[in-house]
Structure 1
Amino acid sequence: MDNSGECCSCSTQLIDGGGTFNVDGLENFIKEVKLRECDLSYTVVSIMGPKSSGKSTLLNHLFGTDFREMDLLRARSRTTEGIWMAKGAGIEPCTLVMDLEGTDGEERRREDDTTFEKQIALFALAVSDIVLINMWCHDIGRIQAANMSLLKTLFQVIMRLFSPRKTTLLFVIRDKQRTSLEYLESLLREAVQEIWDRLPKPQAHKETPLSDFFNVEFVALSSYVYREEQFKEEVASLRQQFFHSTAPGGLAGDRRGVVLASRFSSSAQQMWKVIKENEDLHLPAHKVMVAIVRCEEIANEKYSSFTENEDWRLIEEAARLGSIPGFGKKLSSILEACLSGYELEAIYFEESVRSSKRKQLEEKLLQLVQPAFLSVLEHTGCETLDKFKEEFDKALNGGEWFSVAARDCIQFYMTLFDKVCSAKWDTSRAREKLRCDIDAHVASVHAAKLSELTKAYEAKLKEALSGPVEALLDEANSETWSAIRKLLLRETESAVTGISGALSGFDLDEQSKEKMLAGIKDYARGVVEAKARKEAGRVLLRMKDRFTTLFYHDADSMPRVWTRKEDIRAITKLARSASIKLLSVLAAVRLDDEKDNIEKTLSLSLLDTKPTTTDRSITMASSTWEECKSLWRQFKAETEYTVTQAVSAQV
């Protein structure tokens, strides 16, 4: 019956009568009720008690579930087998309700299978926040019928294996008549306390009171058969206690052992697996099982506590903004405090399980802090790189050798990074990235400095060669190229010596050094060749200037007066011969000290009326020869008028 008007979820058999755990059914149920969305905001309620004591009826009225109820015509036959689960309707937070197979069943006793009753009872007690113990009013004082024997077994297991969690035990007294609830409560409380006091306890809990493990509550209900309306009113009143049950002071207010909703299924499966594999409820085996559950609960609690830690939140916020001095030590301190708290609470559980869960907790914590850790590493790496660049540039500008400055700065700032990021976690990737960034910067500066050095010497060479080469070509004579070669050799050797000394500070390998020096030599030669080609492009103008100068001036550089005494023919030949010499000097680049007779060839071929073809072909390439002929024809044409004018001016 649904008291809220909300449609309840259909019940699902969690564990069948043969002890099989319905994994698929539980997964489907969890999806249907959207349990994974609840995080920690959910409650598990279970009910245990004698068979046919109205457990399913009570749950259906109390939570609006649809558990199968007893057929009154069949009297006390078993209706619930194993454990069934449903979601309470219209109750917040999400409340999972488990209906357990009744105890004292004749069917189980015939099958000699009372162990199964203990198994499902232990399972329910281990996973539930609230356990309803359903009993007939007239059975109070009877050990078996009142479930006191079962309660003793469960208390013993809980005492041996659990740390305090404060599960709520709510004794529901059915068919209450004239006896006062206060009296019934005192009888039950005394019986429960006596069971607790007589239990053998481990050293850790010799003096632990019952109240550290359980909240014991009582409620009495009228007969559903004879006082149905009163029963429903009392159930409606009881139902209100399950609203906000996880709030402080609520029925399930102690949440220290709660399992995340997303892990409820795996936790329940693991617990039942261990219980089922040890049918005699062998305590050491249960010790392992419960240790798994409780250590995981403690670990979850510590993890949750860590996420709320104010110091951690401050570190997490600061990590987004920049590096944090002493980050490793600060974070390690908070983590150690969290893990120590886990160890303190889990100390009495089985060692291997405790250690395993501690390791899992540590891994979860490290995953949690990893983004902040990586952020701090990134900021620290960037800041360290900036400081390195600044100090490295300062060292280079101070005249320190490149290789020495690089080595010292790299060593200092990598050590500084290691010191700042000192922690128990792996910083190798961040360190490797920083080193790669530093190496890339060093390589970039190295290339820039070498380029700067090369350009500086190239500029010196250009200045040392361009003007003098141009001047030598202006004078163009038989010694011109010899003088240019000597100039080139002297300046190149000077540059090579200077740059070799400068390269000593760069720690270059021999091959790279030789390549740079060869480049400088090539550049110097290129300057001369370029200058020669440039001047060769102006050869016609130069030839005309030389011709004009020699034609119009005598040996003493005095202007000529064109009288009959002047031998214009001889003067013309002399001026043209000088122009031929200029042409021969600029006709080819002679930096390899090769002997040639270009001047003789040109003189014989261009000045004489019968050129010597053999000499020409031997000493000059055909393209050069053709170019020279073309230039000479143009030269003669453009200077012929000068000669004609002189002849006409003779008096």
Structure 2
Amino acid sequence: MMRLFSPRKTTLMFVIRDKTRTPLENLEPVLREDIQKIWDFVPKPEAHKETPISEFFNVEVVALSSYEEKEEQFKEQVANLRGRFFHSIAPGGLAGDRRGVVPASGFSFSAQQIWRVIKENKDLDLPAHKVMVATVRCEEIANEKHANFSTNEEWCQMEESVQFSPVTGFGKRLSSILNSYLSEYDSEATYFDEGVRSTKRKHLKEKLLQHVQPAYQSMLGHIRSATLEKFKETFEKALNAGEGFSLAARTCTQSCMALFDEQCKDAVIEQANWDASKVQDKLQRDIDSHIASVRAAKLSDLTSTFEVIFVDFILYKRLFCLVTFFDWGYIVFANMKYCTSMNMLNGWKKWG
């Protein structure tokens, strides 16, 4: 038990055949007590005289029904027990702890490193060796998955298409592709050291997200541009329909910003914690700028029209003063021009 290698637990399984009506919960404590007595009498080094048996062994007690009395139940229990032997290295299997286990895919590299350590006369520290093997193999698996993703046909088509136009179902489709490669990594790296495996998975995820982020930003850019054009169109229609300027600006802005938020949901990538707030802010600034430019243009048109009519009004008024006789038809015409000028002035105040 006392080896240069860090100790690995061994499973001690006690199988009770032809279990009677006595519950296993009553039989197991008695058996464990006997095992503990045996362990207490086993000669041990001074440093481990008080070490409990659980430090070196996983003790399990299994009971099987009587074959003659309960044949079907017996066969079922045996089949379950057989499965634990067949899958002994899987989590929950009979191989004890897995602190020193190296998966078959890493055996060649592991054997080379063991031989190198032996030749250099170093202490054989299997946990450190296991971490080293896991680091190399998980890195290789992660690089392989990243390379495969880079050449994935569906992703390449999406990456090219999104440069020119929005891609329908962008977020859901890309999330599915990313998830498939992360799942493949999990499957191939499942038997390596958990800490190393998790770290390399995190790095793989970060590399994949860095790879797809430009496409995500392009998608948001298309959504922003389309939403801005939609706003310009609906805003112009509202004004042409006679809706008040402030009301039209407010309602069109609210509806288009809601449309932007809804379309951004289609671009969300499940594996990324990104948001579209910066693009949303830019869209809001663009809308505000367009509203300001339309207001300025409308006011400019009204001002120009008012100035022309006002000049006409002054000329007509002067001409009226020079006339030495009263032409009632002319007076009516001059009054009509005056009323038109007043209406334009009121309109100018409205846009202001």
Query: Fold match, TM over 0.5?
Result: yes
SS class of match (1:411): helix
Retained in 1: the 8 A contact 2:145–2:185? yes
Partner of 2:179: 336
Task: Indicate yes or no: 2:291 matched with 1:448.
Answer: no
Judged with a 3 Å threshold, the aligned counterparts in structure 2 of structure 1 residues 305 and 498 are, in CA distance, closer, same or farther, namely: closer
SS class of match (2:139): helix
Task: Indicate yes or no: 2:164 matched with 1:321.
Answer: yes
Query: How do 1:166-315 residues align onto structure 2 when only pairs under 5 Å count?
Result: 202-203=89-90, 213=105, 280-315=123-158
Cα offsets for 1:391-424 (capped at 9, x unmatched):
2111111111122222222222222222222214
Count matched residues: 234
Partner of 1:351: 194
Distance 1:324 1:399 in 2: 37
State the TM-score, normalized to the length of structure 1.
Answer: 0.32
Q: Which amino acid aligns with 1:447?
A: A
Task: Indicate yes or no: 2:210 matched with 1:367.
Answer: yes
Which of the two has higher C-alpha Rg?
Answer: 1
Distance 1:342 1:306 in 2: 12
Distance 1:470 1:325 in 2: 69
Distance 1:292 1:213 in 2: 13
Retained in 1: the 8 A contact 2:306–2:341? no
Distance 1:499 1:371 in 2: 47
Judged with a 3 Å threshold, the aligned counterparts in structure 2 of structure 1 residues 289 and 214 are, in CA distance, closer, same or farther, namely: closer
Task: Indicate yes or no: 2:321 matched with 1:434.
Answer: no
Cα offsets for 1:75-109 (capped at 9, x unmatched):
xxxxxxxxxxxxxxxxxxxxxxxxxxxxxxxxxxx
Q: Which amino acid aligns with 1:441?
A: H
Percent sequence identity over matched residues?
Answer: 47
Task: Indicate yes or no: 2:269 matched with 1:420.
Answer: no
Unaligned runs of 5+ in 1: 1-113, 116-200, 217-256, 258-270, 476-488, 504-512, 514-651
Retained in 1: the 8 A contact 2:135–2:196? yes
Judged with a 3 Å threshold, the aligned counterparts in structure 2 of structure 1 residues 285 and 215 are, in CA distance, closer, same or farther, namely: closer
Unaligned runs of 5+ in 2: 6-87, 96-101, 325-337
Please, which of 356, 370, 384 is the counterpart of residue 227 of structure 2? Answer: 384
Please, which of 394, 408, 413 is the counterpart of residue 237 of structure 2? Answer: 394
SS class of match (2:163): helix
Distance 2:107 2:341 in 1: 99
Partner of 1:463: 312
Distance 2:285 2:257 in 1: 11
CA drift of 1:312 comes to: 0.7
Q: Which amino acid aligns with 2:232?
A: K
Judged with a 3 Å threshold, the aligned counterparts in structure 2 of structure 1 residues 458 and 214 are, in CA distance, closer, same or farther, namely: closer
Cα offsets for 1:474-496 (capped at 9, x unmatched):
77xxxxxxxxxxxxx99987655
Cα offsets for 1:299-324 (capped at 9, x unmatched):
11111111122211121121122111
Retained in 1: the 8 A contact 2:138–2:196? yes
Q: Which amino acid aligns with 1:456?
A: T
Which structure features the higher share of helix residues? 2
Q: Which amino acid aligns with 2:200?
A: K
Judged with a 3 Å threshold, the aligned counterparts in structure 2 of structure 1 residues 429 and 466 are, in CA distance, closer, same or farther, namely: same
Q: Which amino acid aligns with 2:259?
A: L
Retained in 2: the 8 A contact 1:306–1:338? yes
Q: Which amino acid aligns with 1:388?
A: F
Judged with a 3 Å threshold, the aligned counterparts in structure 2 of structure 1 residues 213 and 295 are, in CA distance, closer, same or farther, namely: closer
Judged with a 3 Å threshold, the aligned counterparts in structure 2 of structure 1 residues 491 and 309 are, in CA distance, closer, same or farther, namely: closer
Cα offsets for 1:110-158 (capped at 9, x unmatched):
xxxx99xxxxxxxxxxxxxxxxxxxxxxxxxxxxxxxxxxxxxxxxxxx
Partner of 1:78: none
Judged with a 3 Å threshold, the aligned counterparts in structure 2 of structure 1 residues 213 and 371 are, in CA distance, closer, same or farther, namely: closer
CA drift of 1:470 comes to: 4.0
Cα offsets for 1:176-197 (capped at 9, x unmatched):
xxxxxxxxxxxxxxxxxxxxxx
Q: Which amino acid aligns with 1:348?
A: Y
Q: Which amino acid aligns with 1:203?
A: A
Retained in 2: the 8 A contact 1:406–1:442? yes
Partner of 1:607: none
Q: Which amino acid aligns with 1:471?
A: F
Cα offsets for 1:348-388 (capped at 9, x unmatched):
33333333222221221122112222222222222222222
